[in-house]
Structure 1
Amino acid sequence: MTIHDSNSDIMSEVPGNILEEILIRLPIQDAVRTSLLSRKWRYAWVKLPQLDFELCIWKGEIYKLPSSLYSCLQLKHLNLRSCMFKPPPGFGGFTRLLSLCLCEVVIADDVLSSLISSCPLLEKLILEISTSLDSLEVVGPNIKSVDCYGHFRSICFTNTSRLEDVGLYSEGIRNDVLLSEGEISSSAVLLDSVPAIESLGLDYSYVKGIAASAVPTRLPTTLNNLKCILLIDFCFGERDEVSVLICLIRSSPNLKEIHIRVFPSDPAAICIGQDFLEMYGWSDVSLNQLRKVDIESVYGTKPEQDFIKFLLAKSPMLETMLIRLNVANVDDKLRVVRELTRFRRASPQAEMEFEC
């Protein structure tokens, strides 16, 4: 039996490496409370390599960030919601920051661009901003992922050679009446400046933005790494939008997945008698790496069916095609399914699945 001196501090005898392992596994509040256990534990928590604060300030309105935040230069992950970001003069950014998420944050265009460029280690950027901003410049040699939910009239990428995943979504309900030239992003994404991109997501607003200028047959820079395309509220009845899709497919020889959520076409705008391949010049396109297709909210229009027919005929490695129908009448559903399943398939293993 071991007899301890009554003055012995058992908590102080815990080895330093074990003490650190204990603190790492505790919520920040509990880790701070351990400073009361003994003299050795008093300041142990401040030496932790990572501190995770659950800091909620909610008054139902936008709040101003405390000035002390801008002096936390060792921050690695920053997630802000419903606040005003207005740094003091001379603020040099968070030089250790790896991820930045701003949700409903009030911030000026130039401040946002400056903040991003002053975080040289930044790898992940998420923006969810409901107010319209004029421009956004994303500068970052280490940025790998950018997801923007909001309306930016102009977006450009600079020094982003490692950027792999890009998602640009206006988060608005599509209304072609409201898609005036002033509301369309005039230079939504300069794809030739992101050669390493592997996944690209766009909604109708940014597709229209790319189409605002003359859409080339293919991009100046081949997107050899692009594996996945996601288009939200895409309208097959709009020639400019389909032209953008053609351009992206032509410029992406290693494309493996296509995901599209369809927006209904205006029947008056559909050229029923014109051949889809002839209209858009698809005859020279090959999809030799395409494996998966997911098209949601299919109405069964001729342009939609022609596009599906094209994919089946041009994709020798296709494995699955999921068609999610948006057809109310049962007879119409059966008719659309029968028509689609008759199309020739270049891939012997291609399976078509339908959800109604």
Structure 2
Amino acid sequence: MVSSHIIAIIDSMSAFRISRKRKATADRISNLPENVTQQILECLPLQEAARTSVLSSHWKHKWAATQQLVLDKQLFSSILKNKMETTDISLAYSKTVNDIILSHVGPIWKFVLYLPSWFPKESEFSQWIQYVCANGVKEFTVEDACRPEKYLPNSLFSCKDLTHLTLINCKFLPLPPKFQGFPCLISLRWETPSFTSDNCKQISVLETLISKCPQLRSLCLSFSMREKENLRICAPKLQELFMEGSLSHIFLEGTTVIKKLALDLFCTKFQHSKHMSDFFSTLPKVEELILKCLIWGAMKWSEFRSPRKFQKGLDRLQSLKLVAIPLHCHFSISLLLCLFMSSPPLERLYIEASQHEKVSDEQPIQIDNTCILPCLRNIQLVGISGLHCQVQLIKFLLACSPALEEMSIELNVGMGGAQEKFHFVTELLRYRRASPTAEVIIKTKTLSSVSYIFHPIWLE
């Protein structure tokens, strides 16, 4: 929206310049402060920013001094227009990027580069990175759609001012011998979906890289490793950790100030309660925890039995989100209760039941109703189908949450007819509640969406 408004302003100013009738009118846009001019240009896609060169001689080279070079998929899509042959597209893409980079003057603080799948020119890629790195880049993003993935040129590791580094489908060469780290890097994101024979080398380089970023605050990793691979993360100031993929185990060494943790991780050693307990006990300051489906998959075929409480509790955990959890399985309920018992300050709970497999109620799961969740205020349950274990969980949460303000229950689309839903609702009305002010909202998605709200007075 902002971009369209700015383009409209530029077009109108361009028309104004051409019109002789209004030649005497003051050219206000050319007298804007330099920082305002740059902010306008940075709100525009690069090609639109280049159009400002027609406004006046004052604007002719302004776009070339923009501190953001965003050569993303949107730019690539515009190059594809009216070109059918891969050779023509490749030449046009290379020429466009070369022209932009060669025309640029001044520092570059943000650089985004998308490499299409057919882009074979390793030399040009290295030259572009070298130029950008020589101009003080701080935010650096490369998305490589090529196969096999390209190795990052060594020139990248000379960028001492980097604060944000995003690498999608890129691979690491061994770090240069003189590499001292990224002293200013606060955010690192690395995604590689491929499964290769040099995973061990990539893990080693990644571990070393992380350990050489003393200011690192946010780390996002997405990969597919062999089950025998371990990952050690040493980042004393790390506050946000997001991981998805598969590996054997993850070790946090001196990384004790994490506040937000999201795991969609098939970690084979999590099949043993001791390893999981040891891992969560290293997170004394985590405030928000997200566990997704691969965590449960790692425990599915094991005899996992969670301890009643972790060795060191999650004494600051306020928000817990569990996605695709198999509520019919003993191991998941066991871990769930352990998380409750280990997190006395928990305020917000989100649970999404697994929908990917047929479940049964052959072995009802008994839930201990003796514990108290003193701070729990908001609960969201998604994909509830009325199974006995799910009903027991709802009953437990209502009975053990004296501060509860709202519980939202979204029923599974395949739960059954209106009679089954009505039976579920009437059963729910009978459950004892620890909170006299709790509001229960039941949502059901059908062809015509319906929701029911049960105010506290109706539940007494």
- Shorter-normalised TM range: 0.7 to 0.9
Distance 1:183 1:344, change over 3 A: closer
More deviation, 131-140/338-347: 131-140
- Going from structure 1 to structure 2, the CA distance change for 1:42 and 1:250 (only over 3 Å counts) comes to closer
- For the residue of structure 2 that corresponds to 1:190, the secondary structure is helix
Could you give the per-residue CA deviations for residues 305-347 of structure 1, whole angstroms, max 9, x where no partner exists? Answer: 0110111111111111111111133322222222123212221
The residue that corresponds to 1:266 in the other structure is 359
Greater C-alpha radius of gyration: 2
Structure 1, 186-195 or 223-232: larger mean CA deviation: 186-195
5+ unaligned residues in a row in structure 2: which ranges?
1-30, 68-104, 118-145, 445-460
Structure 2 CA distance, aligned partners of 1:25 and 1:87?
Answer: 41
1:353 aligned counterpart, secondary structure: strand
Is the CA contact (8 Å cut-off) linking 2:361 and 2:388 kept in structure 1?
no
| CA-to-aligned-CA distance 1:15-55 (integer Å, 9 cap, x gap) | 9xx54564465449699999x9899x99896775x711121
Structure-2 change in CA distance of 1:310 and 1:354 (3 Å): same
**Counterpart mapping for 1:139-158 below 5 A:** 139-158=234-253
Q: 2:429 aligns with which of 341, 345, 350?
A: 341
Answer yes or no: is 1:290 the counterpart of 2:290: no
Q: Structure 1: which 5+ runs fail to align?
A: 1-13, 172-178
Q: Does 1:126 align with 2:214?
A: no
Name the counterpart of 2:159. Answer: 72
Deviating more after overlay: 83-92 vs 117-126:
83-92
Structure with the higher fraction of residues in helix conformation: 2
Q: Is the alpha carbon distance of 1:110 and 1:58 closer, same or farther for their aligned partners in structure 2, counting shifts above 3 Å?
A: same
Indicate whether 1:198 and 2:287 are aligned: yes
Query: Within 2, Cα distance between the matches of 1:229 and 1:302?
Result: 23
Q: CA deviation at 1:191?
A: 1.3
Moved over 3 A (4+): 18-34, 36-39, 41-48, 130-133, 181-189, 207-214
> Which amino acid is 1:79 matched to?
T
How many pairs does the alignment contain? 325
Correspondent of 1:319 among 385, 405, 408: 405
User: Using the alignment, how far apart are the partners of 1:305 and 1:323 within structure 2?
Assistant: 11
SS at match of 1:93: coil
Structure 1 residues 82-231: aligned runs within 5 Å: 82-90=169-177, 91-104=179-192, 108-132=202-226, 134-170=229-265, 187=275, 190-207=279-296, 214-231=305-322
Q: How far has the Cα of 1:241 moved from its partner?
A: 1.6
Q: Which moved more, 1:131-140 or 1:285-294?
A: 131-140
- The match for 2:335 is 244
Aligned residue for 2:344?
253
**Deviation digits for residues 70-127 of structure 1, max 9, x if unmatched?**
2222111011112222243423332211111112266622222222222111111111
Q: CA deviation digits over 1:224-272, x for unaligned, max 9?
A: 110111112212221122111111111111001111111267326523x
Give percent identity, aligned residues only.
Answer: 28
CA distance in 1, matches of 2:111, 2:215: 21
Cα RMSD (Å) of the superposition?
A: 3.5
Instruction: Read off the aligned partner of 1:220 and give its amino acid letter.
Output: Q
Q: Distance in 2 between matches of 1:42 and 1:303?
A: 63
Query: What is the CA–CA distance in structure 2 between the aligned matches of 1:47 and 1:212, rounded to whole Å?
Result: 61
CA distance in 2, matches of 1:44, 1:239: 58
Contact map agreement 1:154 1:185 (CA 8 A) in 2: no
Counterpart AA for 2:328: G
**Partner of residue 5, structure 1:** none
The 1:58/1:328 distance shift into structure 2, 3 A limit, reads: farther
Instruction: Confirm whether residue 302 of structure 1 aligns to residue 396 of structure 2.
Output: no
Query: Greater relative contact order: 1 or 2 (C-alpha under 8 angstroms, separation 6 or more)?
Result: 1
User: Residues 62 and 353 of structure 1: is their aligned pair in 2 closer, same or farther, counting only changes over 3 Å?
Assistant: farther
